[in-house]
A and B are shown apart, each in its own frame.
Chain A
């Protein structure tokens, strides 16, 4: 009998390929964490070492003591939470109508939402600056929330309309026959079927705002500066503070990682969306 590769061999190859792929994503982050734990003197050593020779929390102590950073974290949180809530408030009902009452106009509406995702953010920066200046919203939390919402809504709209497409129209009709208005049917019957969709959309909206840099750079200066701007300022004309910068970046990444882990079940559940038929 000729030797043939066992099925286990194929599995091993797939697992190795997956490991290489995961490492390609994870390595920069691992290096970021590793650098943040190096003593300040080791951060810029030549040749650089991947792992710290000695673990030190000095960079974290420096960062926590840096004026403006705790405030920037609060600003980031407030902006991201408000952006998420406002985006869901606008996008969820709009996506529902677009998905369940499909007409030519709703298809065009969704297409425009897609097109806005293709416009480079930098080309929107100047008009947004002008709009916020006119409205007196420069360097305000509200101004930044509105700017972030303008980019988060199309994403939330596209995501939620995909989730709603899996809902049989009869559910809404049954609820209307059972005594609900259209809106009542949406609130009592349709939304409770969407925990995964809402969780994923909320998470994506939150991350989009939490990570956003360009609009925050253009629209804020003192009062409502978000953490990405303050972190970038560690690298300034006064010197390269790589150690504190990486420590701040690690701290800033933790909430998103935590939220993702918490919503893991809903996110995985969301991958099978459409399976709501009773």
Chain B
């Protein structure tokens, strides 16, 4: 087991745009770290640099106490699970799992014992003599895990290992991976573009965008205290609603409507007072808007907006609202153009709501849960 330290890591492909820019952070011994971000954010590149499959253009990568920039992948003592699993199709499950041990020159008896143990943990024992082509997606994924854990490496690297599974199996394997990692206590770096995976699996989550570190924090802190507009919108589903607003004293004006911010909001964010008389970006999570007619929320402020669409999901109802404030783009390249074009706010309403498309909704907004961002730097105001 080992800590992994990235110190001012850069990655440039040829003379093109840098894939990774000045990445510095430390992954603790035994920690489950998730790299998350939209397509092209550099998360897989960062992982592959830790693996040794990509060269490092500048900076230092330290595993344990050793700088490993020029150490071959085979000598880094880390195991990797690939998105495509990369199982050896001509080898049986037993031979696949045994392969890293064979390469390490482990004695035959010991290989047999450790392969059987890994197979038992991953419930692969009945399939040991089958070829990967005869296995289901979930079983293949477990073989890939088996090949990683059998070596007892210093760290596990996982590159979107669940993305080829169906939704139900993904949820099941998500829990199994977390359980396994906790049991083995091995430092793990897990890459995903799925923020639900990031939030549910990681001890800490690193959010990347265009090769730059946006925030590194616990899932709860990412949700509650996002560093900037991008993280605020990226974490949470549906995304945070972002609008331009102006602040005058304690009055927050959102389009044609105003709400009064209580003193507690200014107490929690001392920097907010300086924005009086200026514009800022306000963020409202869908779960912090409700139908004022049926809400259980207390201490809410009320505004109104026309309803454009109602999606009843059973346990909750998603209500799309045409607020007349100026909408702010979170600059997430993965959000479909059509979605950004619609520019409606989304509220996660109580299923008791009777609202229909075309109604004008009275909205209950919790001011304490509003987020505020500087319109120029797009950083959070605290």
Q: What residues on A are CB-neighbors of B85 within 8 Å?
A: 278
Give Cα A193 to B103, complex, Å: 18
State whether A193 and B86 are in contact (beta carbons under 8 Å apart), knowing that A176-B74, A177-B73, A179-B74 are contacts in the complex.
no
- Which residue in A174, A181, A193, A278 is a CB contact (below 8 Å) of B140? A278
Q: Which of A170, A179, A189 has the most CB of B within 10 A?
A: A179
Q: What residues on A are CB-neighbors of B133 within 8 Å?
A: 278
Interface size class of A (residues with CB under 8 A): 20 to 34
Q: What residues on A are CB-neighbors of B90 within 8 Å?
A: 192-193
Among A166-181, those with CB < 8 Å from B are 168, 170-171, 173-181
* Proximity string of chain B (77-91) to chain A, C-beta cutoff 8 Å, 1 when within and 0 when not: 011101111111110
> Are A278 and B103 in contact, CB atoms less than 8 angstroms apart?
no
> Are A171 and B103 in contact, CB atoms less than 8 angstroms apart?
no
Give Cα A171 to B78, complex, Å: 16
Query: Is B18 interfacial (CB-CB < 8 Å)?
Result: no
Q: Which of B53, B74, B99, B151 has the most CB of A within 10 A?
A: B74
State whether A171 and B88 are in contact (beta carbons under 8 Å apart), knowing that A178-B147, A278-B132, A278-B140 are contacts in the complex.
yes
B148 nearest in chain A by CB position:
A177
Q: Is the interface of A mostly helix, strand, loop or mixed?
A: helix
> Are B103 and A180 in contact, CB atoms less than 8 angstroms apart?
yes
Query: Is A11 interfacial (CB-CB < 8 Å)?
Result: no
> Are A176 and B86 in contact, CB atoms less than 8 angstroms apart?
no
Give Cα A278 to B133, complex, Å: 6
* Proximity string of chain A (142-174) to chain B, C-beta cutoff 8 Å, 1 when within and 0 when not: 000000000000000000000000001011011
> Are B99 and A178 in contact, CB atoms less than 8 angstroms apart?
yes
Query: Is A269 interfacial (CB-CB < 8 Å)?
Result: no
> Are B103 and A173 in contact, CB atoms less than 8 angstroms apart?
no
Query: Is B185 interfacial (CB-CB < 8 Å)?
Result: no
Give Cα A184 to B104, complex, Å: 12
Query: Is A276 interfacial (CB-CB < 8 Å)?
Result: yes
Interface size class of B (residues with CB under 8 A): 20 to 34
> Are A168 and B104 in contact, CB atoms less than 8 angstroms apart?
no
* Proximity string of chain B (26-52) to chain A, C-beta cutoff 8 Å, 1 when within and 0 when not: 000000000000000000000000011
> Are A184 and B103 in contact, CB atoms less than 8 angstroms apart?
yes
- Which residue in B82, B86, B89, B104 is a CB contact (below 8 Å) of A179? B104
Query: Is A4 interfacial (CB-CB < 8 Å)?
Result: no
Query: Is A54 interfacial (CB-CB < 8 Å)?
Result: no
Query: Is B100 interfacial (CB-CB < 8 Å)?
Result: yes
A194 nearest in chain B by CB position:
B90
Q: What residues on B are CB-neighbors of A170 within 8 Å?
A: 82-84, 86
Q: What residues on B are CB-neighbors of A277 within 8 Å?
A: 84, 89
Q: What residues on A are CB-neighbors of B72 within 8 Å?
A: 176, 181
Among A73-98, those with CB < 8 Å from B are none
* Proximity string of chain B (81-112) to chain A, C-beta cutoff 8 Å, 1 when within and 0 when not: 01111111110000000011001100000000
- Which residue in A173, A184, A188, A276 is a CB contact (below 8 Å) of B53? A173
> Are A278 and B74 in contact, CB atoms less than 8 angstroms apart?
no
State whether A193 and B89 are in contact (beta carbons under 8 Å apart), knowing that A178-B103, A180-B103 are contacts in the complex.
yes
Give Cα A196 to B54, complex, Å: 31
Give Cα A192 to B91, complex, Å: 10
Among A219-278, those with CB < 8 Å from B are 276-278
Give Cα A277 to B88, complex, Å: 9
Q: What residues on B are CB-neighbors of A173 within 8 Å?
A: 51, 53, 73, 80, 82, 86
* Proximity string of chain B (251-278) to chain A, C-beta cutoff 8 Å, 1 when within and 0 when not: 0000000000000000000000000000
> Are A181 and B86 in contact, CB atoms less than 8 angstroms apart?
no
* Proximity string of chain B (125-143) to chain A, C-beta cutoff 8 Å, 1 when within and 0 when not: 0000000110000001000
Q: How far does the Cβ of A175 sit from chain B's closest Cβ, in whole Å? A: 8
Give Cα A99 to B293, complex, Å: 65
Q: How far does the Cβ of A255 sit from chain B's closest Cβ, in whole Å? A: 30
> Are A176 and B99 in contact, CB atoms less than 8 angstroms apart?
no
Give Cα A277 to B103, complex, Å: 22
> Are B86 and A171 in contact, CB atoms less than 8 angstroms apart?
yes
Q: How far does the Cβ of A130 sit from chain B's closest Cβ, in whole Å? A: 43
Give Cα A176 to B104, complex, Å: 12
- Which residue in A168, A180, A184, A188 is a CB contact (below 8 Å) of B86? A168
A276 nearest in chain B by CB position:
B89
Q: Which of B51, B72, B88 has the most CB of A within 10 A?
A: B88
State whether A177 and B78 are in contact (beta carbons under 8 Å apart), knowing that A278-B132, A278-B133, A278-B140 are contacts in the complex.
yes
> Are B87 and A181 in contact, CB atoms less than 8 angstroms apart?
no
Q: What residues on B are CB-neighbors of A178 within 8 Å?
A: 74, 79, 99-100, 103, 147, 151
Q: What residues on B are CB-neighbors of A174 within 8 Å?
A: 80, 82, 86-88, 147
Q: How far does the Cβ of A43 sit from chain B's closest Cβ, in whole Å? A: 52
State whether A179 and B140 are in contact (beta carbons under 8 Å apart), knowing that A168-B84, A173-B86 are contacts in the complex.
no
Residues on A close to B: CB < 8 A? 168, 170-171, 173-181, 184, 188-189, 192-193, 276-278
List, sorted by A's number, 16 A–B pairs whose CB atoms are closer than 8 Å: A171-B88, A173-B51, A173-B86, A174-B86, A174-B147, A176-B74, A177-B73, A177-B74, A177-B78, A181-B72, A181-B74, A188-B99, A188-B103, A277-B84, A277-B89, A278-B87
18 new A-B contacts, CB < 8 A, other than A179-B103, A189-B88, are A168-B86, A170-B82, A171-B86, A173-B53, A173-B73, A173-B86, A174-B86, A174-B88, A176-B52, A176-B53, A176-B73, A176-B74, A177-B78, A178-B100, A178-B151, A179-B100, A184-B103, A278-B89
**Which 10 pairs across A and B sit closest by C-beta, in order of nearness?**
A179-B103, A174-B86, A278-B89, A170-B86, A178-B100, A278-B87, A278-B132, A177-B80, A176-B73, A179-B74
